[in-house]
Structure 1
Amino acid sequence: MKKLPPLNALRAFEAAARHKSFTAAAGDLFVTHGAVSRQIRHIEEFLGRRLFERLPRGVELTDEGREYAAVVRRALEQVAEASDAIRTRADEKQILTISTTPRFAVGWLMSRLHLFQRDFPQYGIRISSTTRLVNFERERIDVAIRYGRGNWPGLSVTRLFDHEEVPVCAPALLEGPDALQFPEDLARVRLLHDGSYQYWRSWLDFAGIDNVDPHEGWVMDDPNVLFQAAIQGQGVALANPRTVETELRDGKLVQPFDLVLATDVAAYAVCPEQNADDPKVRAVIEWLVAQAEAQE
């Protein structure tokens, strides 16, 4: 590397060029006027050029001084930005970021997360709730919980549990003369769909029901809105029992029938292959597996 002027001299020059005053630069740097003057002289001797014109009432940059000041300022800003970025990453090393769907976070993860924090107090926790596939590196995600068949290239994949579908509804729909007793009774109520009709078609076929139109009812893109509608008695929704665990336990939702539709997808904890041995990644994945197995 080529020889560079001392950093203190560059900082003194940048401050003096910005203020057009050695005195103001000294105030910025918490040094004396004489110290700034010596640093400027040092850098001028290093360059073999005058950077300031000394005037009776202050200083003015020479043409070369103005050119040099722009380069030095840009270089110091880049050093400061790079330093901040590294400090930020160092501060975030103990932050564990988990990406999952809003429904999984609300219905399953949040009721258990305090147990992870109890066992691993050294980690801060950040939950990124989204339905899209995240970019692990750009978004600084450590672990994501995804539904699928487990075939994501470049990712380390750990199965948590199978995805199943059961009808759920408000307890009120099981009361009165029109109470739901058999799957055929679904013909009398509104079906609630999660953005498609796929699972209701599959569940009705599985139950052998042909008097219910699987395309009837309301379609909602947000599962949290869907289950809130079910809680309010607006109809019957299909759900993975695990993701409405809280609502089932609190009695806000009930399962009117025992028929459980198995699907060909499952919930997985995933991370980039190169990060699989990171201690905090390994800790949270092993914890997720243990929590899932405790429900089996």
Structure 2
Amino acid sequence: MVLRPDWLPALSAFESAARHQNFAHAAEELNLTASAVSHHVRKLESRLGVSLFQRHARGVTLTAEGRRLADASGSALADMEGALRTLRGDRDEEHRVRITTLHSLAYTWLLPRLPDFAAKHPRIRLAFDTETALTRFDEGGPDLGIRHGPGHWSGLSSHRLMDETLFPVASPRMAAFETIKAPADIAHVPLILDHARQGWHDWFRFAGVHGAALNEHYSFSDTTDALQAAVVGIGAALAREHVVVPYLRDGRLVELPGPRMSARWGYHVVYPSHRRLRPAAQVFVDWLLSAPVD
């Protein structure tokens, strides 16, 4: 039997009625009346020469033949919907760039710069993932990432975005703020840590403070949370130059006495070496690498 185009409305009505087990609900979904759905189903039954539903006072239930057709029609329509989503998605994805990065960098460094990108490239849509887990660049995953590290990752092309320095900061509201006159004084206040590999011990050694018993009182997995903890005045944090800028600018945090220490690691733009960046992703990478870091 050849499936003719004029069967499609009846099949669509039947599939919806079979899924809902209710003509009225199918009618609501299809923006039809219940009698129109019933008419389509009876027309289909007449053409096939079988009963697809058992009708009773409480509603309808599928017959064995109806169940077979419901399974086939549901699967076929799902395949068609999937194909339509893919075709629409391919068009949408042409102008979408997916980026994985650190929450702290996105919040304080990247977001303030995005209006410039939006003005220059209004058609490109950006999707950010700031989960702490290291994201894999599988098919369907992010196009690129901004990572903090040594700059060498297996299977990834890497471009250095910017270096950073580390230095201590605190809120003027911190109880012991006025007592801090030299780097050694910082060792006596509660210290706030993030999960970076370079931390307070490295900075005190760089500042020439040796043998101090450090009061590492608070620890956070994200640098933004560590800085916010310093803002509320519970201790001093070791700030990253580019991430701390908005906090220093509005006076929520103040740089404490002591040297700025160059960090061993910097920020890098990375993407899979085995595949070429899509044009929209390449535009975003070019913009990142040309953006002022200060």
TM range (shorter): 0.7 to 0.9
Per the alignment, do residues 29 and 16 of structure 1 end up closer, same or farther by CA in structure 2, a change over 3 Å counting? farther
Query: Root-mean-square deviation (CA), in Å?
Result: 3.9
For structure 1, list consecutive stretches of 5 or more residues without a partner in the other structure. Answer: 45-49, 54-59
> Within 1, Cα distance between the matches of 2:62 and 2:196?
69
Contact persistence 1:170–1:254 (CA under 8 A): yes
Task: Give the count of matched residue pairs.
Answer: 281
Query: Which residue of 1 is the match for residue 254 of structure 2?
Result: 254
SS of structure 2 residue aligned to 1:157: strand
> Within 2, Cα distance between the matches of 1:265 and 1:97?
24
The offset of 1:140, in angstroms, is 3.9
Q: How does 1:182-201 map to 2 (within 5 A)?
A: 182-195=182-195, 198-201=198-201
CA deviation map 1:63-95 (0-9, x unaligned): 556424422332222222332243234324322
Q: Counterpart of 2:157 in structure 1: which amino acid? A: S
> Within 2, Cα distance between the matches of 1:19 and 1:288?
52
Q: How does 1:1-296 map to 2 (within 5 A)?
A: 5-6=3-4, 8-9=6-7, 12-13=10-11, 15-16=13-14, 19=17, 50-52=49-51, 64=65, 66-137=67-138, 140-171=141-172, 178=179, 180-195=180-195, 198-214=198-214, 216-292=216-292, 294-295=293-294
> Within 1, Cα distance between the matches of 2:63 and 2:170?
79
Query: Which residue of 1 is the match for residue 56 of structure 2?
Result: none
Q: Counterpart of 1:9 in structure 2: which amino acid? A: W
> Within 2, Cα distance between the matches of 1:11 and 1:64?
19
Per the alignment, do residues 143 and 7 of structure 1 end up closer, same or farther by CA in structure 2, a change over 3 Å counting? farther
TM-score, scaled to structure 1: 0.76
For structure 2, list consecutive stretches of 5 or more residues without a partner in the other structure. Answer: 53-60
Q: Which moved more, 1:121-130 or 1:8-17?
A: 8-17
> Within 2, Cα distance between the matches of 1:219 and 1:26?
57
Q: Counterpart of 2:13 in structure 1: which amino acid? A: A
Per the alignment, do residues 277 and 102 of structure 1 end up closer, same or farther by CA in structure 2, a change over 3 Å counting? closer
**Which is greater in Rg?**
1
Q: Which moved more, 1:113-122 or 1:221-230?
A: 221-230
The offset of 1:99, in angstroms, is 2.0
Query: Which residue of 2 is the match for residue 57 of structure 1?
Result: none
The offset of 1:190, in angstroms, is 1.8
The offset of 1:160, in angstroms, is 0.6
Per the alignment, do residues 19 and 170 of structure 1 end up closer, same or farther by CA in structure 2, a change over 3 Å counting? closer
> Within 2, Cα distance between the matches of 1:11 and 1:209?
81
